[in-house]
Amino acid sequence: MEHAEIFMTLSAYQDRFTAKRGDRTVSLPIFPGLEASRVFGSHYAALKASASVLAAGFPVIVADLSPKGWNERFQQKEALPLTRAAKNLHADAIKQNGDLDAWRIEKLKWKWPLDPAVASETRQWLRGLKAGEGAREALSDPAIAHAALSAWHLSGLDGSLKSQVENTVIRASLIANYSSAFQRQPTAADILASGPDMDAAARAAQDGLAVHEAARAEVGQVVAVLNSTVDFVAVVGDMSRDAAFAMISEAA
């Protein structure tokens, strides 16, 4: 009978789990920060723990099994904790991504009048600038950024800049939201100080945007984990990626 070390190896490292079967080798990365995540922590920890148990128990479980026997046992039993955790993590990611998208859409709503003719002239002006100059203008001025976003395909700006240009508008929107929450107070140096403290509002806006970007980066890590988990299940169970994804999606 073919033994475990011949047809497949499962290994656990500090930063990843690996599976090698024939000419197929995959890694399931470990992101320590995800375990502390308010959104993903519990289900990511469950996924990591189940992968660890699988790797540790594999040599003993498979000792008396053929490759086909292992495949059947993996699909019927051994994969279940991993696929269940992955399914839950996937659901978390879909919800969080939707919430973040909704937040961006709301904050991208322009709070000031926009003359379509002026916006068109602004985009024409951007198209006439060198690429670097146009990017600097759109990233530094929210009115220019909004004009570009209102018809992005006519802005002449590189597609890779779109998210950053959106952030320019979002930052301005947040500053407007926060301006009423931060008021200047009279001091010995400025005894007539009053009205919105725009510097404080700008700092709060930058902090809010940083939190949002960190959350988006976290979703990106989870997507990497989920894609790798599909690959991992496919190799360990000797199946296609589609079949592995179906196992995760249908996990009980």
DSSP E strand stretches across the chain: 9-12, 16-21, 24-29
Residues listed for the chain: 252
Mean pLDDT of 68-75: 94
pLDDT of residue 1: 32
Q: Is the pLDDT of residue 132 over 80?
A: yes
DSSP 11-73: EE-SSEEEEEETTEEEEEE--HHHHT-TTTHHHHHHHHHHHHHHHHHHHHHTTT--HHHHHHH
Q: Is the pLDDT of residue 148 over 70?
A: yes
Mean pLDDT of 59-67: 89
pLDDT tier, 114 (very low <50, low <70, confident <90, very high otherwise): confident
Average pLDDT, whole number, for the chain?
93
Question: How does pLDDT run across 6-17, given as a tens digit for each residue?
Answer: 689 999 999 999
Q: Is the pLDDT of residue 153 over 80?
A: yes
Residue pair 62/4 in contact (Cβ under 8 Å)? The answer is: yes
Token pair belonging to 240? 């296609």
Q: Is the pLDDT of residue 63 over 90?
A: no
Q: What is the pTM of this model?
A: 0.87
Residue pair 68/8 in contact (Cβ under 8 Å)? The answer is: no
Question: How does pLDDT run across 179-236, given as a tens digit for each residue?
Answer: 989 999 999 999 999 999 999 999 999 999 999 999 999 999 999 999 999 999 999 9
pLDDT of residue 178: 92
